[in-house]
Structure 1
Amino acid sequence: MRHDEMIGKVQALTRLPGRAPAERATQAVLTTPAERLPSGLAGHMTAQLPRELADSVRQSADTSGERFDLATFAGRIAGRAGTDEDMALREAAAVLEVLDAAIAPELMDHVAGALPADIRELLPAGRAAEGSD
C-alpha cells in the first residue's frame, strides 16, 4: 500500500480534519508498537511500510522488545500525536486496521502474536483473538 493511500485511509477512519493530523497519528502509532515488538519482527514490519513511514519507525526499532501495557502504549501515542489518551486509542485502532491491510497477512499474524492481549484488542476483530502473551 502506498503512503498516500495509507494516510487517506487513516484520515477517513479517524475523521481527523486533515492529512497532517492523520500523518502525525500514523507515525505515532506505528512507532510505538515498533518499540514493543522483537527487533527482527519490527524490522520485517518496517520493510513492508512505505519509505515515508518506515524511516521514522526504523529509529524506534532500535529500542524494540520493550515490555509495556495498553496504558503506556496509549500514553506514548498521545504524547507523540499531541492528543489525549482516548483519542490516541481510537487513532491506534484505525492505524492498526490500515496496517493489517498493508502488510503481509503472515507478518501481521506474527505482530498480533507478539502483542499483549490488552494492546491486541485494538487490532481488527479477526486479529484481536490471535496470539498469546
Structure 2
Amino acid sequence: MDDREFFQAVADRTQLSRQEAADVTRATLETLAARLSAGEARDLASELPERLREALRRGRDEMEVFDVDESIRRVRERTGLSETEAGRGVRAVLATLREAVSREEYDHAMSQLGSEFARMAETTP
C-alpha cells in the first residue's frame, strides 16, 4: 500500500477530504510514535511508505504513556479537527495501519500501545 492508497482508505473510513485524511494520518502516526519505543517505531516505519515513515520518526525522545483520549486530544490539536472527527481519524488510521503492515509488526505495536488502542481499530467500519 502506498501513501496515496493509505490516505484514501482513511478518507473512505472517515468521510473526510483526502487532505484532512492525510493530515489526520500524519498526526496520528506522530502521536503513536510518542507512545512506542524507538525500536518499535522504527520497525513499524520500515513497513510503511517513505512519506508515512517520516511521521513515525518525528519527536523521538522518551517513550510517553498516555491513553486513547489523550491521543485523540493531541491529534485534534495537530489537525484542527473536531473531537469526533479526530476520534474517527485515529480509528481509521489504526485500521488502515493493520492492513498496511504485517500482522506480526501490527501486533508488536499494539502490544506496546495497549488493548484500548487495538479495540479502536476493531470498531472501525
Q: Normalising by structure 1, what TM-score? A: 0.85
Matched, 1:114 2:112: yes
CA distance in 1 between counterparts of 2:62 and 2:76 reads: 19
Match of 2:22 in 1: 23
State the one-letter code of the partner of 2:9.
K
Aligned length: 123
The answer for the alignment partner of 1:131 in structure 2 is: none
Separation in 2, partners of 1:108, 1:71: 21
Corresponding residue of 2:51: 52
User: What is the identity, as a one-letter code, of the residue corresponding to 1:10?
Assistant: V
CA distance in 2, matches of 1:64, 1:81: 23
Give the SS at the match of 1:65: coil
TM-score (ref. length: structure 2): 0.90
Amino acid at match of 2:5: E
Unaligned runs of 5+ in 2: none
**Mapped partners of 2:41, 2:62: distance in 1:** 7
Q: CA–CA distance in 2 between the matches of 1:117 and 1:103? A: 18
Contact kept, 8 Å, 1:112 with 1:120, in 2: the verdict is yes
State the identity as a percent: 31
Q: CA deviation at 1:65?
A: 1.6
Aligned-residue CA RMSD (Å): 1.4
Any stretches of 5+ residues in structure 1 without a counterpart?
A: 126-133
Equivalent runs, 1:15-94 vs 2, <5 Å: 15-16=15-16, 18-60=17-59, 62-94=60-92
